[in-house]
Amino acid sequence: MKSFQKELKRRRTFGIISHPDAGKTTLTEKLLLFGGAIQEAGAVKSNKIKKGATSDFMEIERQRGISVATSVLAFEYKNIKINILDTPGHKDFAEDTFRTLTAVDSVIVVIDVAKGVEEQTEKLVEVCRMRNIPMIVFINKMDREGKDAFELLDEIEQKLNLTVTPLSYPIGMGYDFKGIYNIWEKNVNLFTGDPKKDIEDTIEISDLTSEELDELIGSKAADNLREELELAQGVYPEFDKEAYLEGRLQPVFFGSALNNFGVRELLDCFINIAPTPRPKESEERLVKPDEDKFTGFVFKIHANMDPKHRDRLAFVKIVSGKFERNKAYLHVRHNKNLKFSSPNAFFAEKKEIVDVSYPGDIVGLHDTGNFKIGDTLTEGENLNYRGIPSFSPEHFRYINNADPMKSKQLAKGVDQLMDEGVAQLFTLELNGRKIIGTVGALQFEVIQYRLEHEYGAKCTYENLNVYKATWVEAEDEKSEEFKDFKRVKAKFLAKDKKGQLVFLADSQFSLQMTQDKYRSIKFHFTSEF
């Protein structure tokens, strides 16, 4: 057996996704408490954007600080090394979350029992579903009045297009919430509303017909539970680990993160069924985690908060082999060997320099501008992990230089911020004007502020009417049709940072018209097709 097999087998790298306010931060914190990684509640900072704080730049910096601190939270539980990757819930940072999802091996989806499936949940789950990422659903806030369990499971199936099966089942809800029956472990956990309650305090009920259940929760609730469980068994498929791992079946748990209720059940099941680091496709071949040689890719870049230290931290997910300190690795895009003397590993609340990391782990590498999101590192093999696609931005503005003496600084700043993935840059074919595209309006302020404070450059924006950016793929670049398209639409054509041709449609109607007119040209909403 290879030396690192044991390490590989005990790793679980996942992300928690939810609509803001469903309870992601609270759940994260409770999971860390179980791992003994933190001692008290309140230790995990929410990276939520505070309402109305969009023009408060201290808020942006505070945000960035938290987002470094919570990027990766690692802890051990029952000898399993768990890496939680932070996924911002705010829609302006959705792109960040999409990229992080390329580095997780599974996800937990948190849903608010009262609000049900919300908009961000839908979008994020769709991305996970497309990639067959195994998902566990946690229905949170059972201490509050909410939707009936069946109704909610139905809604999840309908709106999220999932096939669910409950592995725990609530006994009442809100004011009447009595606890949960753990279908997975066949026991009852009674709810006392005391978050400090002994978490191991569950009562074995292997036989649902036993009178003990009536004594515990009262005959009415017991009969209700029996009935509902029977019904659930008829409606939902039996749990099947293979199906879960292939993304075909999603187990569901109920609980209350705030009260630390139902969280242990979730975690115990999670370490049992969640996948160890999964194989990953590259342009060349499928790479397996247990291969001897190291490979990994950059999924996130974070600039130093201190403007005096311009270095950045590149977050690398290890896909295969061991990553060792001070060993030379190939930066494939630059065809250059690089050594890292102080790779960071992440723990619940701190980062530390480590000598060796294993598949599933994330290492933070100090970078002076070598890395771009999506870059691959290997032990010499010319291998490229499938890029991380860019999606069409929602907002577009011209960016202008406001200080002619600082045009170099501006160019460098814009370049680096785009590498970090803060926004996308398009250059108009016709006149070379630069356009910034972002997912949320907030990013324009972030860019302006950071250009000034980190690069000493000033910019202004000018409005521009673009509906969507679409990546252009021509069947035949020499065809008359394509030439005609380029001539007629010259005003609307730009290149992205990679030099790919992009059509900036000014309305849905004009995009439709263009698609109808040029049948041999495809217009893609993402940069990878």
Residues 458/464/467/470 CA torsion (nearest 10 deg):
-60
Q: Which amino acid is at 18?
A: S
Most distant CA pair in the chain, distance? 83
Kindly state the smallest distance separating residue 250's Cβ from ligand GDP, in Å.
Answer: 19
* Sequential DSSP letters for 312-332: EEEEEEEEES-EETT-EEEET
Helix axes 57-69, 442-455, angle to 10 degrees: 90
The answer to whether residue 178 forms part of the interface with ligand GDP (CB under 6 A) is no
Burial of 501 (0-12, 13-18, 19+ CB in 10 A): middle
| Binders of ligand GDP in range 133-152 (CB under 6 A) | 140-141, 143-144
Structure tokens at 400: 């202008």
The answer to whether residue 226 forms part of the interface with ligand GDP (CB under 6 A) is no
Residue 103 assigned to a binding site: no
Kindly state the smallest distance separating residue 52's Cβ from ligand GDP, in Å.
Answer: 16
Binding mask 45-84 for ligand GDP (x = CB under 6 A): -x-x------------------------------------
Residue 453 assigned to a binding site: no
* Calpha distance 296→371 (Å, rounded): 13
Q: Which residue's CB is nearer to ligand GDP, number 63 or number 390?
A: 63
Residue 24 assigned to a binding site: yes
Of 424, 413, 367, the residue nearest 391 (C-alpha): 424
* Calpha distance 128→247 (Å, rounded): 9
User: 71, 102, 256, 443: which one contacts ligand GDP (CB under 6 A)?
Assistant: 256
Q: Which residue's CB is nearer to ligand GDP, number 12 or number 24?
A: 24
The answer to whether residue 120 forms part of the interface with ligand GDP (CB under 6 A) is no
The answer to whether residue 89 forms part of the interface with ligand GDP (CB under 6 A) is yes
User: 21, 291, 445, 481: which one contacts ligand GDP (CB under 6 A)?
Assistant: 21
The answer to whether residue 397 forms part of the interface with ligand GDP (CB under 6 A) is no
Q: Which ranges of 35-80 would DSSP assign to H, the alpha helix?
A: 57-69
Q: Which residue's CB is nearer to ligand GDP, number 20 or number 218?
A: 20
- 91 DSSP assignment: G
Q: Which residue's CB is nearer to ligand GDP, number 16 or number 183?
A: 16
Residue 88 assigned to a binding site: yes
The answer to whether 257 and 263 have CB atoms below 8 angstroms apart is: yes
The answer to whether 446 and 410 have CB atoms below 8 angstroms apart is: no
Residue 35 assigned to a binding site: no
Residue 96 assigned to a binding site: no
Residue 147 assigned to a binding site: no
The answer to whether residue 279 forms part of the interface with ligand GDP (CB under 6 A) is no
Stretch that binds ligand GDP, among 18-26, 161-169, 334-342, 384-392 (CB under 6 A): 18-26
| Binders of ligand GDP in range 182-211 (CB under 6 A) | none
The answer to whether 317 and 385 have CB atoms below 8 angstroms apart is: no
* Calpha distance 294→41 (Å, rounded): 37
Stretch that binds ligand GDP, among 251-259, 266-274, 319-327, 355-363 (CB under 6 A): 251-259
| β-bridge pairing 135-140 and 250-254 | parallel
* Calpha distance 32→316 (Å, rounded): 22
Of 358, 362, 371, 466, the residue nearest 419 (C-alpha): 371
User: 173, 213, 258, 348: which one contacts ligand GDP (CB under 6 A)?
Assistant: 258
| Binders of ligand GDP in range 24-43 (CB under 6 A) | 24-26
- Which residues are documented as binding site for GTP? 18-25, 86-90, 140-143
- Which residues are documented as binding site? 18-25, 86-90, 140-143
Would you tell me which residues interact with ligand GDP (CB under 6 A)?
Answer: 18, 20-26, 46, 48, 89, 140-141, 143-144, 256-259
